[in-house]
Structure 1
C-alpha cells in the first residue's frame, strides 16, 4: 500500500472521528448528571485517546514521509495544517478537558468544547478533502 492511500485512510478516519465528537459526543455530555460527568469524562478521555492518539501520530509520520518523497504545496500545506491541529489539541483542548468540573454548568462546558472544536473539525475535513482530491485526480507522488 502506498503512502497516498495510507494518508487518505488516516485523513478519512480522523475526519469521521472529529465529526462524531463534534455532533454526538460533546453535545451528549449534557445528558450526564453533574456528579457523573467527571467520572465519565475520565473514562472517555482515556478511551478516545487510545483511538485518536495513534491515528494522529500516524498521520504526522505519513505527512513527514510524504515531504521526504516530494516537496510541494500539498505536502508542506498539509503538514502545516496537521501541526495546527496538534497545537490546538494540546494547547486548547487538553487544558479545556482538564478544566471540566462537575460544579460547572454542563452548557458552559459543552458550548466551549463545541465552539472551539469547529476549528479542528474544519481542518481535518480540509485534510481529507485534499487527500481525496489528489487521489481522484490521479496525482501520484
Structure 2
C-alpha cells in the first residue's frame, strides 16, 4: 500500500511537470476498486481504506521530498509521526484551516440544497447585513 501512495504521487507530479507539491492530503477518505473510473461510484465499488497504512505511505512521500506537507484526517493524530499540514478543524492546534466547496453547489451530484439557501444561514446573514456566502 505504501508503494501505492508513492506511485500515485509520482504520476501526479509527472502529469503536473513538478518535482513536489505543497500538500499531499486525503481529500475524501475512501478507496475505490482499481477498475472504477466513474465520478459517482456505486456502493459495491468501494474497498476498505486503512488510513494508518495510507498515512504511512504519505509520510514516506514527505521523506522522499515528493511533498512539503501532508494533511487532513484527524484520526491520524493517533498514529501519525508528522502532524497534518491541512486539517479542517485543527485551527487551535496551529494547523492551517481550509475548506473545499464549503457552500456546496445547487443541484450537485449528491442532490443536496446549497448551504446558502438554508433558512438559518440566511437569517444570520440578514441579521449581520452580510451575504450568505
Q: Normalising to structure 2: TM-score of the pair?
A: 0.25
Q: Which has the higher contact order (CA 8 A, sep 6+)?
A: 1
Greater fraction strand: 2
